[in-house]
A and B are shown apart, each in its own frame.
Chain A
Amino acid sequence: MNAPDGWKHQNAVPPTDTAEPDYFHKVVDCQWACPAHTPVPGYIRLIAQGRFSDAYMLNRQSNVFPGILGRVCDRPCEPACRRDRVEDEPVAICRLKRVAADHKDDITDRLPKKPAKTNGKRIALIGAGPASFTVANDLAPFGYECTIFERFGEPGGLMRTNIPAFRLPEKVLSEELGYILDMGVELKLNSPVSSMKALLDEGYDAVFVGTGAPKGKELNLPGRDQSENIHIGIDWLESVAFEHTKAIGKKVLIIGVGNTAMDCCRTSLRLGADNVKVMARKPRAFFKASAWELEDAEAENVEIIVNHSPKEFVVDNGVLKGMLFETLEYVLDEKGNITKQTVTGEVVIECDDVVLAIGQDNAFPWIERDAGLEFGKWDMPLVDEVTFQSTREEVFFGGDAAFGPKNIIWAVEHGHQAAISIHQYCQQKLVTTRLPNGVKLAPTKMGMFEWSFSNSFDAAERRIMPHVELAKRFKDLGTEVELGFTAEQAATEVERCLNCDMQTVFNAPLCTECDACVDICPVECLTMTEPAAENVLREALEIPASNTEQALYVSPALPLTSRVMIKDENICLHCGLCAERCPTAAWDMQESEIIINHVEDMVPGASS
Chain B
Amino acid sequence: MTSFAKPSINLKNAKRNKLGLTRRDYEGAMSTLCAGCGHDSVTACMAKAFFELSIEPHRAVKVSGIGCSSKTTAYFLSEAHGNNTVHGRMPSVATGAAAANTELTYIGVSGDGDSLSIGLGQFAHAIRRNVNMLYVLENNGVYGLTKGQFSASSDIGSRSKKGEENLSPPIDPVSLGLSLGATFVARGFSGDRAQLVPLIKAGLKHNGFALIDIVSPCVSFNDHKGSTKSYAHTFQYYHPAVHADYVPMADDIKTSYEDGEAVPVELHDGGMIMLRKLDKDYDPQDRAAAYAQVAKRAAKGEIITGLLYVDESQKDMAAMNKMTATPLNALPYESLCPGAASLADLQNRYR
| A contact set with B: CB distance below 8 Å | 1-2, 85-88, 446, 449-451, 453-457, 459, 512-516, 518-520, 522-524, 542-543, 546, 560-561, 571, 573, 575, 577, 580-584
Is A457 touching B7 in the complex (CB atoms < 8 A)?
yes
Taking the nearest CB of chain B, how far is it from the CB of A548, in angstroms? 14
Q: How far is the CB of A342 from chain B (nearest CB, A)?
A: 37
Which partner residue on chain A sits nearest B219 by CB separation? A583
| Chain A, Cβ-Cβ closest to B3 | A456
Inter-subunit contact B13/A543 (CB<8 Å): yes
Residues of A within 8 A of B191 (CB): 1, 513-515
Instruction: With A512-B232, A577-B6, A583-B219 given, name 20 new contacts (CB 8 A).
Output: A86-B12, A88-B10, A450-B2, A512-B219, A514-B191, A514-B217, A514-B231, A516-B40, A516-B41, A520-B40, A524-B23, A542-B15, A543-B15, A560-B231, A561-B235, A571-B13, A573-B7, A575-B7, A580-B35, A584-B36
Interface check B222, CB cutoff 8 A: no
- In the complex formed, the residue of B with least CB distance to A450 is B2
B190 to A515, Cβ gap below 8 A? yes
Instruction: Judge whether B235 and A455 touch: CB under 8 Å.
Output: no
Chain B residues closer than 8 Å to A456, beta-carbon distance: 1-3, 5, 7
CA distance A516 to B41 in the complex (A): 7
Chain A interface SS verdict (over half): loop
Taking the nearest CB of chain A, how far is it from the CB of B224, in angstroms? Answer: 11
State the 4 A-B residue pairs at the shortest beta-carbon distance, nearest first. Answer: A583-B36, A457-B7, A456-B3, A519-B44
Complex interface: chain A residues within 8 A of B36 (CB): 512, 514, 516, 581-584
Across the interface, name the chain B residue whose C-beta is closest to A562: B235
Chain A residues near B14 (CB-CB < 8 A)? 543
Chain A residues near B238: list those with CB within 8 A.
Answer: 1
Residues of B within 8 A of A88 (CB): 10, 12
Which of chain B's residues have a CB closer than 8 A to the CB of A546? Answer: 13
* Nearest opposing residue in chain B for A519, CB measure: B44
Q: Is B337 among interface residues, defined by CB-CB distance under 8 A?
A: no
CA of A563 to CA of B240 in the docked complex: distance in angstroms?
A: 17
Q: How far is the CA of A520 from the CA of B36 in the complex (A)?
A: 10
- Partner of B2 from the list A453, A516, A571 (CB cut-off 8 Å) is A453
- Whether the pair B4, A449 counts as a contact (CB closer than 8 A) is yes
* Docked pose: A263 CA to B34 CA in angstroms: 60
Q: What per-residue 1/0 map shows which CB atoms of B37-53 lie under 8 Å from chain A?
A: 11011011000000000
**Which residues on B sit within 8 Å (CB–CB) of A582?**
35-36
| Contact partners of A86 in chain B: CB under 8 A | 9, 11-12
* Minimum CB–CB distance for A61 against chain B, Å: 28
Does B8 make an interface contact (CB < 8 A)? yes
| Complex Cα–Cα for A86 and B192 (A) | 29
Q: Which residue of A lies closest to B24 (CB)?
A: A522
* Interface residue ranges of B43-83 to A (CB < 8 Å): 43-44
**Cα separation A451 to B219 with both chains bound (whole Å):** 23
Cβ contacts under 8 Å, B192 to chain A: 1
Q: CA separation between A451 and B1, bound complex, in Å?
A: 9
Is B114 on the interface with A (CB-CB < 8 A)?
no
**Across the interface, which residues of B come within 8 angstroms of A571, CB to CB?**
11, 13
Are B11 and A577 in contact, CB atoms less than 8 angstroms apart? no
Residue pair A455, B231 in contact (C-beta under 8 Å):
no
Please, which residue of chain A has its CB at the minimum distance from the CB of B34? A583
Q: Decide: B9 and A580 in contact? CB cutoff 8 A.
A: no
Contacts of B34 in A (CB 8 A): 583
A512 touches B35 (CB 8 A): no
A48→B116 CA distance, assembly (Å): 54
With both beta carbons as reference points, the residue of chain A lying nearest to B48 in the complex is identified as A542
- 21 A-B residue pairs with Cβ-Cβ distance under 8 Å, sorted by A, are A1-B238, A2-B240, A86-B11, A449-B2, A455-B3, A456-B1, A459-B8, A512-B219, A512-B223, A512-B232, A513-B191, A514-B41, A514-B191, A514-B219, A560-B232, A560-B236, A577-B4, A580-B4, A583-B34, A583-B36, A583-B219
